[in-house]
Amino acid sequence: MSDLLASAPFEVVHVEQPHGLAHALHGAARRIPVVLRAQNVESDLWTSAARRRPFLRWEARRVARYEAAAVRRASLTIALTPRDAARLGELSHRPDSVRHIAAPFPAQLPSAPPLPGQPAVVLFGSRDWWPNRESTRWFVRDVWPLAQDALPQARLHLFGIEGCDSGGIQCHPAPALSTEAFAEGSTLVVPLRAASGVRMKILEAWARGIPVVATPVAAAGLEVEDGRELLLARDGREFVAALVRLTRAGGAAAELVRMGRERLRRDHDPATVAAAIAEAYSTVR
């Protein structure tokens, strides 16, 4: 990085995530402005985890100090949601140096062929990230049996987990292309109970024409309204009610998708986001 920055008269260094900031300090030393794009507030995730594992409170405070220092070092910080922008400004005591610019995403993409099940329910269940791991365990253990009672023909498709086919559950490896998981006629469930930033899977579901049922935590940051762009569910009963509604209420899924795509066009248009980032570059010195 030092050699690269010395090789040409760069005007801005863009850093994705605070942990990449160390690589840009050479630029800061040469008085090149650094723009930090924070995709989430990591310390908030550790704080959520500490509710069940109190010993993680120390780690949450440590990460918060790291994030605050990163924002103070950067010339400007870009956050993906207004909520994260406010939080990073609070942590760093530099609210004027944090700006919200939404994540870019196209408004319309193709979907995959239908999956088995009436309805087919899609859940990303990667074991590599603890919020996904815990929410998947909760949904499979506590919510899915209730869903099967109400919708006996339903099939849960778990992507990112292999070897667990049973009881109306079909497991799939992590797809080589994300399109494979967004099947025509399916419903995406996002049962996260700890989250920060933006769930890109929700944006992709809208673009690919798939309705979404999510916890309020998973949808936070998108500033959506229950029943407009997606359905919110706080517990197993509400998840089941939402799945039943989407299965039996004609046109409900299509309307959610229509409004989700409208939100993509309005708030996440790639050209608009690119212009906002370019403008942000022009303000740093």
Q: Parse the chain into domains and list their residue ranges.
A: 2-104+269-283, 120-267
Dihedral, 173, 177, 182, 184 alpha carbons, nearest 10:
-110
Provide mean pLDDT across the span 172-185.
Answer: 93
Inter-residue contact 211 to 251 (CB < 8 Å): no
Chain segment 75-92, per-residue pLDDT in tens: 999 999 999 999 999 999
Q: Tell me the pLDDT band of 256, cut-offs 50, 70 and 90.
A: very high
Q: Where is 15: in which H helix or E strand? A: strand 13-16
Burial code (b: 16+ CB inside 10 Å, e: under 16) for 180-189 equals: bbbbebbbbb
Reported confidence tier of residue 163, pLDDT bands at 50, 70, 90: low
Amino acid 252: pLDDT: 95
Here the tokens at position 274 are: 């690119």
Confidence of residue 204 (pLDDT cuts 50, 70, 90): very high
* Average pLDDT score over residue span 16-40: 84
Q: What was the pLDDT predicted at 4?
A: 80
Compute the distance between CA of residue 174 and CA of residue 86 in angstroms, rounded to an integer.
Answer: 34
Assign 285 a pLDDT band (cuts: 50, 70, 90): confident
List the beta bridge partners of residue 213.
Answer: 189, 231
pLDDT at 258: 97
Q: What is the pLDDT of residue 25?
A: 73
Hey, which residues does 78 pair with through a beta bridge? 37, 99
Q: What is the predicted pLDDT for the residue at 133?
A: 83
Confidence (pLDDT) at 27: 64
Looking at the domain that runs over 120-267, which CATH code has it been given?
3.40.50.2000
Per-residue pLDDT of 138-147, as tens digits, reads: 999 999 999 9
Q: Are 2-104+269-283 and 120-267 the same fold in CATH?
A: yes
CA distance 143 to 99: 38
Instruction: Tell me the average pLDDT of the chain.
Output: 91
| Strands across the sheet containing 13-16 | 13-16, 34-38, 76-79, 98-100
Q: Looking at the domain 2-104+269-283, which fold is it?
A: Rossmann fold (3.40.50)
Residues 6+ apart with CB under 8 A from 285: 33, 75
Predicted pLDDT of residue 28: 63
Cβ–Cβ under 8 Å, residues 136 and 123: yes
* Rounded average pLDDT over 171-180: 91
Q: Is the pLDDT of residue 205 over 70?
A: yes
Question: What would you measure as the largest C-alpha separation in the chain, in angstroms?
Answer: 65
For the chain, give the percent of residues with pLDDT over 70.
97
Task: Give the pLDDT of residue 16.
Answer: 93
Q: Is residue 105's pLDDT more than 80?
A: yes
